Protein backbone atom coordinates (compact mmCIF):
# COMPACT_ATOMS: atom_id res chain seq x y z
CA UNK A 1 0.00 0.00 0.00
CA UNK A 2 1.41 3.34 -1.01
CA UNK A 3 1.31 5.93 1.75
CA UNK A 4 0.06 8.43 -0.86
CA UNK A 5 -3.28 6.60 -0.51
CA UNK A 6 -3.71 8.24 2.87
CA UNK A 7 -6.97 7.32 4.62
CA UNK A 8 -7.68 4.68 1.99
CA UNK A 9 -7.69 0.90 2.02
CA UNK A 10 -9.72 -1.82 0.43
CA UNK A 11 -11.92 -4.41 2.09
CA UNK A 12 -12.84 -6.91 -0.60
CA UNK A 13 -15.99 -8.94 -0.23
CA UNK A 14 -17.10 -7.35 3.05
CA UNK A 15 -20.76 -6.48 3.62
CA UNK A 16 -22.25 -4.57 6.52
CA UNK A 17 -21.53 -6.38 9.74
CA UNK A 18 -24.12 -7.68 12.18
CA UNK A 19 -22.45 -7.86 15.60
CA UNK A 20 -23.73 -10.54 17.94
CA UNK A 21 -23.26 -10.22 21.67
CA UNK A 22 -21.83 -13.72 21.85
CA UNK A 23 -18.94 -12.61 19.66
CA UNK A 24 -18.23 -9.32 21.38
CA UNK A 25 -16.58 -10.29 24.63
CA UNK A 26 -15.86 -6.73 25.70
CA UNK A 27 -19.51 -5.93 26.31
CA UNK A 28 -20.61 -6.49 29.90
CA UNK A 29 -23.85 -6.37 31.84
CA UNK A 30 -24.13 -2.60 32.17
CA UNK A 31 -26.64 -0.06 30.96
CA UNK A 32 -24.05 1.65 28.76
CA UNK A 33 -21.69 -0.25 26.46
CA UNK A 34 -18.81 0.68 24.20
CA UNK A 35 -17.76 -0.77 20.88
CA UNK A 36 -15.69 0.43 17.92
CA UNK A 37 -16.68 1.02 14.32
CA UNK A 38 -14.69 1.47 11.11
CA UNK A 39 -16.58 2.92 8.11
CA UNK A 40 -15.54 3.08 4.46
CA UNK A 41 -17.15 4.01 1.16
CA UNK A 42 -17.44 2.04 -2.10
CA UNK A 43 -13.98 3.18 -3.22
CA UNK A 44 -12.36 2.04 0.01
CA UNK A 45 -11.85 5.49 1.49
CA UNK A 46 -12.37 6.06 5.20
CA UNK A 47 -15.62 7.81 6.11
CA UNK A 48 -14.75 10.32 8.82
CA UNK A 49 -18.03 12.14 9.49
CA UNK A 50 -20.36 9.47 10.89
CA UNK A 51 -22.99 10.85 13.29
CA UNK A 52 -24.91 9.09 16.07
CA UNK A 53 -28.18 9.72 14.22
CA UNK A 54 -26.95 7.45 11.39
CA UNK A 55 -26.62 4.41 13.64
CA UNK A 56 -29.40 2.17 14.87
CA UNK A 57 -28.98 -0.20 17.81
CA UNK A 58 -31.38 -2.98 18.82
CA UNK A 59 -31.07 -5.73 21.42
CA UNK A 60 -33.08 -8.93 21.43
CA UNK A 61 -34.93 -9.13 24.74
CA UNK A 62 -37.28 -12.04 25.37
CA UNK A 63 -37.49 -12.85 21.67
CA UNK A 64 -38.29 -9.23 20.81
CA UNK A 65 -35.92 -6.81 19.08
CA UNK A 66 -36.01 -3.70 21.26
CA UNK A 67 -34.44 -0.38 20.18
CA UNK A 68 -31.65 1.03 22.31
CA UNK A 69 -29.93 4.42 22.12
CA UNK A 70 -26.71 5.41 20.37
CA UNK A 71 -25.41 7.89 22.94
CA UNK A 72 -22.30 9.11 21.12
CA UNK A 73 -20.01 8.49 18.16
CA UNK A 74 -16.55 9.98 18.43
CA UNK A 75 -13.27 9.52 16.49
CA UNK A 76 -10.94 7.19 18.36
CA UNK A 77 -7.26 6.76 17.60
CA UNK A 78 -5.42 3.71 18.95
CA UNK A 79 -2.10 3.74 17.07
CA UNK A 80 0.69 1.23 16.67
CA UNK A 81 4.26 1.71 17.86
CA UNK A 82 6.98 -0.38 16.25
CA UNK A 83 10.19 -1.72 17.77
CA UNK A 84 12.74 -3.55 15.60
CA UNK A 85 15.43 -5.83 17.07
CA UNK A 86 18.32 -6.82 14.77
CA UNK A 87 20.96 -9.48 15.41
CA UNK A 88 24.20 -7.84 14.27
CA UNK A 89 26.45 -10.48 15.82
CA UNK A 90 28.69 -13.07 14.23
CA UNK A 91 25.73 -15.35 13.56
CA UNK A 92 23.59 -12.58 12.12
CA UNK A 93 25.77 -10.47 9.83
CA UNK A 94 29.36 -11.30 10.66
CA UNK A 95 30.62 -14.86 10.01
CA UNK A 96 34.23 -15.77 9.20
CA UNK A 97 33.40 -17.55 5.93
CA UNK A 98 32.09 -14.56 4.04
CA UNK A 99 28.55 -14.79 5.41
CA UNK A 100 27.42 -11.18 5.47
CA UNK A 101 23.79 -10.03 5.55
CA UNK A 102 24.46 -6.48 6.66
CA UNK A 103 23.81 -4.95 3.24
CA UNK A 104 20.49 -6.78 2.92
CA UNK A 105 19.45 -5.82 6.45
CA UNK A 106 20.17 -2.14 5.89
CA UNK A 107 18.38 -2.09 2.55
CA UNK A 108 15.36 -3.92 3.92
CA UNK A 109 15.13 -1.76 7.03
CA UNK A 110 15.28 1.48 5.05
CA UNK A 111 12.47 0.26 2.80
CA UNK A 112 10.54 -0.87 5.88
CA UNK A 113 10.73 2.49 7.64
CA UNK A 114 9.95 4.45 4.46
CA UNK A 115 6.82 2.34 3.90
CA UNK A 116 5.38 2.98 7.36
CA UNK A 117 3.04 5.97 7.81
CA UNK A 118 5.00 9.02 8.99
CA UNK A 119 3.12 9.20 12.30
CA UNK A 120 4.11 5.68 13.40
CA UNK A 121 6.73 5.91 16.15
CA UNK A 122 9.61 3.48 15.69
CA UNK A 123 12.58 2.21 17.69
CA UNK A 124 15.61 0.33 16.34
CA UNK A 125 17.81 -1.83 18.58
CA UNK A 126 20.92 -3.88 17.77
CA UNK A 127 21.35 -6.98 19.96
CA UNK A 128 25.16 -7.42 19.90
CA UNK A 129 27.34 -7.19 21.90
CA UNK A 130 24.48 -6.04 24.17
CA UNK A 131 21.03 -4.70 23.34
CA UNK A 132 21.55 -1.04 22.45
CA UNK A 133 19.56 1.71 20.78
CA UNK A 134 20.38 2.74 17.24
CA UNK A 135 17.19 4.80 17.10
CA UNK A 136 15.29 5.81 20.21
CA UNK A 137 11.50 6.22 19.83
CA UNK A 138 11.07 8.63 16.93
CA UNK A 139 9.00 9.62 13.90
CA UNK A 140 11.85 11.61 12.32
CA UNK A 141 12.62 9.77 9.08
CA UNK A 142 16.02 11.43 8.68
CA UNK A 143 17.16 10.32 12.12
CA UNK A 144 15.66 6.85 11.64
CA UNK A 145 17.53 6.26 8.37
CA UNK A 146 20.74 7.55 9.95
CA UNK A 147 20.22 4.99 12.69
CA UNK A 148 19.98 2.20 10.12
CA UNK A 149 23.37 3.27 8.77
CA UNK A 150 24.79 2.79 12.28
CA UNK A 151 24.02 -0.92 12.11
CA UNK A 152 27.43 -2.57 12.10
CA UNK A 153 28.67 -6.17 12.53
CA UNK A 154 30.00 -7.49 15.82
CA UNK A 155 32.23 -10.30 14.60
CA UNK A 156 33.41 -11.19 18.10
CA UNK A 157 30.00 -11.38 19.73
CA UNK A 158 26.68 -13.14 19.40
CA UNK A 159 23.41 -11.25 19.57
CA UNK A 160 21.68 -11.33 22.94
CA UNK A 161 18.41 -12.49 21.45
CA UNK A 162 16.49 -13.50 24.57
CA UNK A 163 17.86 -10.65 26.67
CA UNK A 164 16.70 -8.12 24.06
CA UNK A 165 13.18 -9.59 24.16
CA UNK A 166 13.16 -9.49 27.96
CA UNK A 167 14.30 -5.86 28.04
CA UNK A 168 11.61 -4.92 25.52
CA UNK A 169 8.90 -6.60 27.62
CA UNK A 170 10.26 -4.94 30.77
CA UNK A 171 9.97 -1.50 29.15
CA UNK A 172 6.34 -2.20 28.33
CA UNK A 173 5.79 -3.34 31.93
CA UNK A 174 7.27 -0.10 33.25
CA UNK A 175 5.24 2.07 30.88
CA UNK A 176 1.87 0.38 31.23
CA UNK A 177 1.93 -0.30 34.97
CA UNK A 178 1.25 3.40 35.56
CA UNK A 179 -2.18 3.07 33.98
CA UNK A 180 -5.24 2.86 36.16
CA UNK A 181 -7.70 0.02 35.72
CA UNK A 182 -10.01 2.38 33.80
CA UNK A 183 -7.30 3.52 31.38
CA UNK A 184 -6.46 1.73 28.15
CA UNK A 185 -2.98 1.27 26.78
CA UNK A 186 -2.15 4.36 24.73
CA UNK A 187 -0.99 2.20 21.81
CA UNK A 188 -0.60 -1.36 20.50
CA UNK A 189 3.03 -2.59 20.59
CA UNK A 190 4.43 -4.08 17.38
CA UNK A 191 7.65 -6.09 17.57
CA UNK A 192 9.74 -6.99 14.52
CA UNK A 193 12.78 -9.22 15.11
CA UNK A 194 15.51 -10.04 12.62
CA UNK A 195 17.20 -12.89 14.43
CA UNK A 196 19.39 -15.87 13.76
CA UNK A 197 19.16 -19.55 14.52
CA UNK A 198 22.72 -19.38 15.87
CA UNK A 199 23.96 -19.06 19.40
CA UNK A 200 22.27 -16.74 21.88
CA UNK A 201 24.86 -14.39 23.35
CA UNK A 202 23.10 -14.21 26.71
CA UNK A 203 21.79 -16.58 29.34
CA UNK A 204 18.37 -18.14 28.97
CA UNK A 205 16.50 -18.32 32.27
CA UNK A 206 13.11 -20.05 32.01
CA UNK A 207 11.45 -17.90 34.69
CA UNK A 208 12.39 -14.67 32.96
CA UNK A 209 11.41 -16.05 29.56
CA UNK A 210 7.98 -17.03 30.89
CA UNK A 211 7.43 -13.57 32.37
CA UNK A 212 8.49 -11.95 29.08
CA UNK A 213 6.07 -14.04 27.05
CA UNK A 214 3.21 -13.32 29.47
CA UNK A 215 3.84 -9.58 29.25
CA UNK A 216 3.89 -9.57 25.45
CA UNK A 217 0.65 -11.55 25.39
CA UNK A 218 -1.07 -9.39 28.02
CA UNK A 219 -0.33 -6.19 26.09
CA UNK A 220 -1.59 -7.60 22.79
CA UNK A 221 1.85 -7.25 21.22
CA UNK A 222 1.90 -8.01 17.49
CA UNK A 223 5.08 -10.05 17.06
CA UNK A 224 6.93 -10.79 13.82
CA UNK A 225 10.07 -12.95 13.69
CA UNK A 226 12.39 -13.19 10.69
CA UNK A 227 14.83 -15.96 11.63
CA UNK A 228 17.87 -16.39 9.38
CA UNK A 229 19.83 -19.65 9.48
CA UNK A 230 23.42 -19.05 10.55
CA UNK A 231 26.27 -20.55 8.47
CA UNK A 232 27.66 -23.92 9.48
CA UNK A 233 30.87 -22.43 10.86
CA UNK A 234 28.94 -20.45 13.48
CA UNK A 235 26.40 -23.08 14.49
CA UNK A 236 26.79 -23.94 18.20
CA UNK A 237 26.05 -27.37 19.60
CA UNK A 238 22.93 -26.05 21.34
CA UNK A 239 21.54 -24.43 18.17
CA UNK A 240 17.80 -24.17 18.36
CA UNK A 241 17.31 -22.25 21.62
CA UNK A 242 16.55 -18.96 19.87
CA UNK A 243 14.19 -20.74 17.49
CA UNK A 244 12.26 -22.36 20.35
CA UNK A 245 11.86 -19.03 22.13
CA UNK A 246 10.88 -17.18 18.96
CA UNK A 247 8.25 -19.80 18.14
CA UNK A 248 6.95 -19.80 21.72
CA UNK A 249 6.48 -16.03 21.59
CA UNK A 250 4.96 -16.14 18.11
CA UNK A 251 2.50 -18.90 18.97
CA UNK A 252 1.46 -17.35 22.29
CA UNK A 253 0.87 -13.91 20.81
CA UNK A 254 -0.55 -15.08 17.48
CA UNK A 255 2.23 -13.39 15.53
CA UNK A 256 4.17 -14.39 12.43
CA UNK A 257 7.36 -16.40 11.87
CA UNK A 258 9.47 -16.30 8.70
CA UNK A 259 12.38 -18.79 8.46
CA UNK A 260 15.10 -17.86 5.95
CA UNK A 261 18.12 -19.91 4.93
CA UNK A 262 21.38 -17.98 5.00
CA UNK A 263 21.64 -18.06 1.23
CA UNK A 264 18.17 -16.53 0.87
CA UNK A 265 18.71 -13.66 3.29
CA UNK A 266 18.25 -11.25 0.38
CA UNK A 267 14.52 -11.97 0.85
CA UNK A 268 14.74 -9.58 3.81
CA UNK A 269 14.90 -6.66 1.36
CA UNK A 270 11.38 -7.41 0.10
CA UNK A 271 9.91 -9.12 3.17
CA UNK A 272 10.41 -6.11 5.43
CA UNK A 273 8.54 -3.58 3.25
CA UNK A 274 5.76 -6.15 2.72
CA UNK A 275 5.42 -6.40 6.49
CA UNK A 276 5.45 -2.60 6.75
CA UNK A 277 2.47 -2.46 4.38
CA UNK A 278 0.49 -4.74 6.69
CA UNK A 279 1.45 -2.63 9.70
CA UNK A 280 0.47 0.55 7.83
CA UNK A 281 -2.94 -0.88 6.91
CA UNK A 282 -3.71 -1.86 10.49
CA UNK A 283 -2.46 1.46 11.83
CA UNK A 284 -4.83 3.29 9.48
CA UNK A 285 -7.79 1.21 10.60
CA UNK A 286 -7.08 1.80 14.27
CA UNK A 287 -6.54 5.55 13.90
CA UNK A 288 -9.59 6.19 11.67
CA UNK A 289 -12.19 4.35 13.72
CA UNK A 290 -15.00 5.58 15.97
CA UNK A 291 -15.78 4.79 19.58
CA UNK A 292 -19.53 4.20 19.87
CA UNK A 293 -21.32 4.41 23.21
CA UNK A 294 -24.62 2.56 23.42
CA UNK A 295 -27.36 2.66 26.03
CA UNK A 296 -29.35 -0.54 26.36
CA UNK A 297 -33.12 -0.55 25.97
CA UNK A 298 -35.10 0.52 29.01
CA UNK A 299 -35.55 -2.36 31.43
CA UNK A 300 -32.71 -4.47 29.98
CA UNK A 301 -30.84 -6.32 32.73
CA UNK A 302 -28.27 -9.08 33.02
CA UNK A 303 -25.90 -10.13 30.24
CA UNK A 304 -26.56 -8.43 26.92
CA UNK A 305 -28.53 -10.54 24.48
CA UNK A 306 -27.93 -10.75 20.73
CA UNK A 307 -27.86 -7.25 19.29
CA UNK A 308 -27.48 -5.50 15.99
CA UNK A 309 -25.85 -2.29 14.84
CA UNK A 310 -26.92 -0.77 11.53
CA UNK A 311 -25.39 2.19 9.71
CA UNK A 312 -28.13 3.83 7.67
CA UNK A 313 -26.03 5.95 5.29
CA UNK A 314 -26.24 4.64 1.73
CA UNK A 315 -23.06 3.35 0.10
CA UNK A 316 -21.11 3.00 3.35
CA UNK A 317 -19.93 -0.33 4.73
CA UNK A 318 -18.44 -0.91 8.14
CA UNK A 319 -16.65 -3.22 10.54
CA UNK A 320 -17.31 -3.54 14.25
CA UNK A 321 -14.68 -4.36 16.86
CA UNK A 322 -15.19 -5.15 20.53
CA UNK A 323 -11.86 -3.70 21.60
CA UNK A 324 -10.67 -1.32 18.88
CA UNK A 325 -8.31 -3.69 17.09
CA UNK A 326 -8.59 -5.08 13.57
CA UNK A 327 -6.74 -7.78 11.60
**What CATH number should be reported for the domain holding residue 244?**
3.40.50.410
pLDDT, one tens digit for every residue, the chain (327 residues): 333 333 444 332 233 333 333 334 334 446 888 999 999 999 989 999 999 999 999 998 877 889 999 999 999 999 999 999 999 987 666 544 434 688 899 999 999 999 999 999 999 999 999 999 999 999 999 999 999 999 998 887 889 999 999 999 999 999 999 898 888 999 999 999 999 887 888 889 999 999 999 999 999 999 999 998 866 544 544 456 899 999 999 999 999 999 998 667 789 999 999 999 999 999 999 999 999 999 999 888 888 888 889 999 999 999 999 999 987
Residues 224 and 126 in one domain: yes
Q: Is 38 contained in some domain?
A: yes
Residues 41 and 132 in one domain: no
State how far the Cα of 94 lies from the Cα of 101, in Å rounded to an integer. Answer: 8
Domain that holds residue 140: 80-284
Residues 96 and 158 in one domain: yes
Q: Are strands 289-295 and 32-41 parallel, antiparallel or unpaired?
A: antiparallel
Residues 233 and 130 in one domain: yes
Residues 251 and 121 in one domain: yes
Residues 161 and 141 in one domain: yes
The phi and psi torsions of 194 (rounded to 5 degrees) equal -105, 100
* Residues with Cβ within 8 Å of residue 142, at least 6 apart in sequence: none
Q: Is 186 contained in some domain?
A: yes
What is the secondary structure of 154-172 as a DSSP string?
A: BTT----HHHHHHHHHHHH
Residues 121 and 225 in one domain: yes
Q: How many domains does the chain have?
A: 2
Residues 177 and 71 in one domain: no
Q: How large is the angle between the packed helices 102-115 and 141-149, nearest 10 degrees?
A: 170
* Residues with Cβ within 8 Å of residue 61, at least 6 apart in sequence: 297, 299, 300, 305
What is the secondary structure of 171-207 as a DSSP string?
A: HHHHHHTTS-TTPPPSSEEEEEEEEESS--SS---HH
Q: Is 316 contained in some domain?
A: no
Residue 200 burial (C-beta neighbours within 10 Å; 0-12, 13-18, 19+): buried
Q: Is 308 contained in some domain?
A: no
- Residue among 81, 323, 277, 83 nearest 187 (CA): 81
| pLDDT of the residue at 229 | 84
What is the secondary structure of 239-307 as a DSSP string?
A: TTHHHHHHHHHHHHHT-EEEEE-GGGGGGHHHHHHHHHHHHHHHHHHHHSEEEEEEEPPTT--SS---E
What is the C-alpha R_g of the chain? 23
Residues 156 and 32 in one domain: no
Amino acid sequence: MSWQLKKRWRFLGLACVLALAAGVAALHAQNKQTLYLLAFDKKGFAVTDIKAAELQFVEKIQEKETPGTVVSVEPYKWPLKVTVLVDNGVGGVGGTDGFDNLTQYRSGLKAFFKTLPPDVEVTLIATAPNPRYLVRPSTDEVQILKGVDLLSPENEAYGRFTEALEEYAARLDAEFKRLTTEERQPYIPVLVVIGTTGQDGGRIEPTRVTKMIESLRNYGTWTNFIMVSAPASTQPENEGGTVLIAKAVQETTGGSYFPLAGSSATRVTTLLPELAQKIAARHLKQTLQYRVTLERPEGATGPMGPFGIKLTREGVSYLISANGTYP
